[in-house]
Structure 1
């Protein structure tokens, strides 16, 4: 089991620059302690996650402050972009980091994001998979045929050329079985979460993912399943619960209007009550919250279910000093899962 950090702060912060200090300091800790990667999201036009409108920008900053840890887009919402600019941006980061870039792609779901590309919303999934193929070609140095400003077809290649001959690629899946099977069919890794699936449902989805890889000629064991979990490990379950309860409930409340279009029940219910119930579920079964022993046991259960990597979301509202002070407990969990092989895999 590998461990990484993932970021998705609510941008309504009293001291916005301090938010990025947490990004950098946590990244430096992870880099020094054999964590595998740093996952940076893409979020537009909403405070929830709004600290990260362009993951390549954050990755470029982190490339200069870290030495060995992987820098991952988690995720690029591909229908909002031209593959040409995606490859340009991330090739730059690949050079800046001496070849430490990985990419996860998402089809997107929030219609408001698509003010950037309204014509792609309806067919966003099809566009995403076609564009992934284009990204692969461009990264490898192949040309794509585009019409230039004079209406003439032009063979277009991207620069700078990346350091890595081929990037590691993930597809972001929420809970849809078809997303897992499509990722497997295309030989992609998977980035997922427990937002809309239980650990048991996740285990079933992973089985279908592995079967789909094998059915389409890919090594079923080679694909990596990365699971995002909200994370805070500490001295005891009770102390962690006391620390995270209020900020996590506020964090959930800050996202409700973002999800209302997808889940109508959020429109009819009492938001505070729904957030309190959600906190109970997360604390008991869907987050890496609690003592080192509790977190270790949950991580082992997920490993048995087929999860290869936990991406720990740490910036959900707990004070930055407390988050940083808790990271050594997460490092202890990581070492417990390492089983004596204390080396991060790339």
Structure 2
């Protein structure tokens, strides 16, 4: 029994020195690589400062491929409807070569309409696009050709290069809280990347059960798939010390995303926004993030393991100064070691 620990990035900072924004990425990646963390998750975001440090996860993964040697490099996630599978495979096969076979991909349908300025015709059918192109993505990765129409209007067979090091592509589906997506991932034999943004820990139980049941019904080993949960993370000496460090940066981080949700909540005025952010902070600190002491966070991870989670992807770059964030990784490593020690995890 073991729980995988990974780092995940979703920076939101209006910085005066933009190149410095990536120092934390590189420094924390080296830490994860040296300490035995499982993976580094890199997002795709467009046209907004919230997450906008990462418009193409393959670019970030390229930098990490040559500065790490063991940790896996994962797209978390490729918004597949914004791309042709041909270019996804070309980009990530290149990374897989540099990384000597350490690439995995999570695929997302996308959610923000402005992102689809890159592919406006695909917005309405974005979910269908992902599932329609899964097999194409796998075939291209494995070196199989696809038929396309070239510039002369002729049908041609296309094979991508460079060839990936890994013969098969390990895939995740990014699921917010829709049980149907969990079941769809299970039926297709791929892993799940989810979060506690729109659900509680207890809500994961029926969703993970639906995932496992769908895997079994489709002929896949129900226990073989990986369920990864993203958690905002900062571990320290005491719960109070962590609260003091993270409260203002995390509130600012949450506030920076509010305008992305105004189309869904048009009644959100400034007064309500302040109350909402305070409530959100307390919810995260209490039950939806890896915030607090080593003992508190280890208990939270054990709870996640008990409900069926296999990996925690720790989002660390939400605005706490780099020096403090890097120092907190030492405590996070203590959590990892504690829960993965003999007898450290409950039976399930």
2:13 touches 2:319 (CA, 8 Å); kept in 1?
no
Q: 1:273-288 counterparts in 2 under 5 A?
A: 273-288=275-290
Q: 1:197 aligns with which of 196, 199, 212?
A: 199
Distance 2:273 2:6 in 1: 31
Bigger mean CA offset, 310-319 vs 264-273:
264-273
Deviation string 1:224-277 (CA, Å, 9 cap, x unpaired) is: 000000000000000000000000000000000112223456468621221111
Partner Cα separation in structure 1 for residue 268 and residue 194 of structure 2 = 22
Match in the other structure for 2:256: 254
Aligned-pair distance for 1:133? Answer: 1.3
Larger mean Cα displacement after TM superposition, 201-210 or 235-244: 201-210
- After superposition, the C-alpha distances for 1:102-132 in whole angstroms (9 at most, x for unaligned) are 0000000111000100110111111011122
Aligned to 1:42: 44
Where in structure 2 are there 5+ consecutive unaligned residues?
A: none
What SS does structure 2 have at the residue aligned with 1:138? Answer: helix
Q: 1:104 maps to what in 2?
A: 106
Which whole-Å deviations, capped at 9, do the CAs of 1:4-62 have from their partners, x for residues lacking one?
00000004123322210000000000000000000000000000000000000000000
- Per the TM alignment, residue 341 of structure 1 is displaced from its structure 2 partner at its CA by 10
Report the TM-score, using the length of structure 2 for normalisation: 0.96
Q: 1:104 aligns to what SS in structure 2?
A: strand
Give the 3-state SS of the residue equivalent to 2:15 in structure 1: coil
Number of matched pairs: 342
TM-score (norm 1): 0.97
Alpha-carbon distance in structure 2 between the residues aligned to 1:180 and 1:116: 27
Does the 8 A contact of 1:260 with 1:267 survive in 2? no
Matches within 5 A, 1:116-265: 116-264=118-266
CA drift of 1:75 comes to 0.1
Provide the alpha-carbon RMSD of the alignment.
1.3
Structure 1 263/52 Cα, relative in aligned 2: closer, same or farther at 3 Å? same
Runs of at least 5 residues in structure 1 that lack an aligned partner in the other structure: none
Partner residue in 2 for 1:329: 331
